[in-house]
Structure 1
Amino acid sequence: MSFDLLAQQPKLLYLLQGVLAFAGVVCLILVLLHRGPARRRGAAFLLLAPALLLLTVGLLLPGLRTLTLSFKDGTGRTWVGLDNYVWLFTDPEALTALRNTLTWAVLVPLLVTAVGLLYAAAVVRSRYRALALCLVLLPMALSFVGAGLIWKFVYAYRPAAADQIGLLNQIVVAFGGEPRQWLVESPWNVLFLIVAMVWTQTGFAAVLLAGAIKAVPAEVVEAARLDGASPRQVFWRVTVPLIRPTLLVVALAEVIGTFKAFDIVRTMTGGQFDTGVLAHEMYTQSFRYGQTGRGAALAVLLFVLVTPVVAHKLRTQRSTR
């Protein structure tokens, strides 16, 4: 690559300079560790220095920049104080996005965990357990955009006189009903979007919970059966309490994922018909309307909502070790 080409591509030049600078820092650390005294704390700090540098540049500084922008107007130049946060809790569209996000955060973890648990319990003792888990895990191989497109076709609407291409409306028409615009009718359209999310995430829950069920000591289950417990009682009173830490980890992971929900909403409805969520509204305000201050305020709100869930998840994982 010639220097003239680098000069014409300033972004590429900056990237190359950053890579070289980071490589230089790593080389310097290795030299210092090789020649300097082998002190545990100093060596640990030097080894952590590249990661700390990347976290500072890639996470801490952008986070502080976003917090600063949340107190400015759409141009990012004029301070407006708390106006963006007042808008966030008074604007109808922003309140709808907040309500929908909380709905996602409640229903998606419950449904994913429940369906995954039942599916795992049904196939964990089966001879074809691996095949069954692979089948339910297949939707996770798709991106959320792909899943959204698939379910958009499932909900597709055509007038009653036309041939239906949507699976759901084909079923309705086959039983003598009238086709409906499933993604237009609020608030049910939010639930139809949630179904797409549950479809993609159930495999994740089923695989983890099947492993947890498989790890339940056989002697505990056998003792419960000898005491006269039915299979249903063994499952709900013995197996489920023993796999509670895994259930909690799955639920918390899904809560975090739903706060970031964007692709499915963007693909299926574009946030219209009262289906917007905070992540999509943040994108819309920042890049469609040019209101960077409002977009930054939405990002700060998302961070505040996600932080306690992440902290609780980390605490749970440490307690299960």
Structure 2
Amino acid sequence: MGFLLNTRVGQLIVAVVLFAAVVAALLLIAKATDGVRERVRRPAMVAIFAGPALLLLALGLIYPFFRTVWMSFMDARSQSYVGFANYVDALTVPSNLIGFRNTFLWVILTPLLSTGIGLVYAVLIDKSRFEKVAKAMLFLPMAISFVGAGIIWKFVYEYKGAGQQQIGALNAVIDALGLEPVRFLQDAPANTIFLILVLVWIEAGFAMVILSASIKAVPEDIIEAARLDGASPWQLFWRITIPSIRPSLVVVLTTISIATLKIFDITRTMTGAKFDTQVLANLMYDQSFTFGNNGLGSAMAVFIFLLVVPLVIFNIRQMAKNREVRG
């Protein structure tokens, strides 16, 4: 048994056997409830099959959440209670405030730009001859991980000093034109904008796919009636298309906002969260794992949670409303 646990293949075998044993035990227990009255059997079946999932949820999410909240009120080593000191530091230390500023900049610009580009693109290629190919081109970046995208764009933005050979794609073009190379990733606050464009490049495809499907669902008779009344293409867009796809627009905006609030990979990969490009997730990571300040790192995690939860709730309610309308 010790040999099995010391190898990856052995650990996989043990995990599969344990999983099969748990499933078999659940099925046997479920079978044993066949003779039980329905009023008792239904809650028993729910407990049998949902119980393990709820237990894992409690161990994997609920317990860590409460532990993180508690640690945010403790000192750096989680040994003594310090009250709201970590939250005060988070909201007063200049480097932390830069992280908050950048995070809000990401959350404002990324959803708006991604959704705007996706919407315009979806409208322009709708029912065009090369619609499928055009959609695939914009959607392709969605298949790339944030780390992969960060590496790709790091080479695009790469900067070498004046007089040196430029290996970055943009600076190579700039140098060929006889202009001074640009420090895309080093000079704040413009570097944050260039980082945001990477996420926009990824998320625009997601926005385009969702909004394109919504545009195709707009009833043709409404569009034809508006055209007969003399509506221009611009009026059709603002008076017919936008109101018709408003629920999808809200869902896309909130979904991208949630993803943006948790952004970590791009800044870590491209700048190491240096040059005033850090966001809340970077501050949480650095405080917890680089500087060993568990209290402040946990406080940053709580801030991210508090910012994400309202968006998640709003998104769920909006999707529920959409489902009711379709029903």
For Structure 1 versus Structure 2, the TM-score category normalised by the shorter chain is over 0.9
Q: Please give the alpha-carbon distance, in whole angstroms, between the structure 2 residues aligned to 1:275 and 1:90.
A: 18
Letter in 2 for 1:292: N
> 1:1-321 to 2 correspondence within 5 Å?
3-6=1-4, 16=15, 19=19, 22-23=22-23, 26-27=26-27, 29-39=29-39, 40-321=42-323
Partners of 2:26 and 2:48 within 8 A in 1: no
Does the CA contact (< 8 Å) of 1:74 and 1:293 recur in 2?
yes
Distance 1:128 1:304, change over 3 A: same
Which amino acid in 2 is paired with 1:216? Answer: V
Whether the 8 Å contact between 1:74 and 1:291 is mirrored in structure 2 is yes
Contact kept in structure 2, 1:26 and 1:50, CA below 8 Å: no
Give the whole-Å Cα distance in 2 for the aligned partners of 1:110 and 1:164: 32
Cα distance in 2, alignment partners of residues 256 and 50 from structure 1: 28
What is the CA–CA distance in structure 2 between the aligned matches of 1:7 and 1:171, rounded to whole Å?
Answer: 55
Shift in Å, 1:175: 3.1
- The one-letter amino acid paired with 1:307 is V
1:33 and 1:128 mapped to 2: Cα distance?
Answer: 58
- Distance (whole Å) between structure 2 residues aligned to residue 105 and residue 250 of structure 1: 13
Q: Which runs of 5+ in 2 are unaligned?
A: none
Backbone CA RMSD of aligned residues: 2.2
Question: What residue identity is the alignment partner of 2:262?
Answer: K
Note the C-alpha offset of 1:72: 1.3
Whole-Å Cα distance in 2 between the matches of residues 19 and 78 of structure 1? 40
Residues 167-212 of structure 1 show CA distances to partners (whole Å, capped at 9, x for unaligned) of 2212322333200211111110000000000001111111111111
CA distance 1:34–1:295, shift in 2 (3 Å): farther
- The answer as to whether partners of 1:70 and 1:295 remain within 8 angstroms in 2 is yes
What is the alpha-carbon distance in structure 1 between the residues aligned to residue 4 and residue 70 of structure 2? 33
Structure 1 residues 132 and 29 mapped into 2: Cα distance closer, same or farther (>3 Å)?
farther
TM-score scaled by structure 1?
0.92
In the aligned structure 2, how far is the partner of 1:104 from the partner of 1:297? Answer: 20
Distance 1:241 1:54, change over 3 A: same
**Larger deviation: 175-184 or 298-307?**
175-184
The CA distance in 2 between the partners of 1:19 and 1:42, in whole Å, is 21
Return the letter of the residue paired with 2:174. V
CA distance in 2, matches of 1:99, 1:74: 24
Are the counterparts in 2 of residues 22 and 50 from structure 1 also a CA contact under 8 Å?
A: no
Cα–Cα, structure 1 residues 189 and 18, in superposed 2: closer, same or farther, change >3 Å?
A: farther
CA separation of 1:74/1:35 partners in 2, compared to 1, >3 Å: closer, same or farther?
farther
SS in 2 for 1:97: helix
Of stretches 28-37 and 148-157 in structure 1, the one that deviates more from structure 2 is 28-37
Residue 150 of structure 1 and its aligned partner are, at CA, apart by 0.9
Question: Residues 29 and 192 from structure 1, CA distance in 2 versus in 1: closer, same or farther, beyond 3 angstroms?
Answer: farther
Distance, in Å, in 2 between the alignment partners of 1:75 and 1:20 is 41
Q: Secondary structure at the match of 2:38?
A: coil
- CA distance 1:25–1:301, shift in 2 (3 Å): farther
Whole-Å separation in 1 of the counterparts to 2:238 and 2:174? 36
Bigger mean CA deviation after superposition, 17-26 or 203-212: 17-26
What is the distance in 1 between the residues matched to 2:100 and 2:59? 30
Q: How far 1:8 moved relative to its partner?
A: 5.6
Deviation at 1:155, TM superposition (A): 0.7
Q: Which amino acid aligns with 1:4?
A: G
Q: Is the deviation greater in 43-52 or in 308-317?
A: 43-52
Work out the number of aligned pairs and report it.
Answer: 317
- Cα displacement string for residues 245-283 of structure 1 (whole angstroms, at most 9, x for unaligned residues): 001000000110011100000000011011000011111
- Provide closer, same or farther for how the CA distance between residues 18 and 190 of structure 1 changes in structure 2, counting only shifts above 3 A: farther
Q: TM-score, normalization: structure 2?
A: 0.91
State how far apart, in whole Å, the 2-side matches of 1:137 and 1:105 are. Answer: 21
1:39-66 CA-partner distances (Å, limit 9, x unpaired): 3444334432222112111111111111
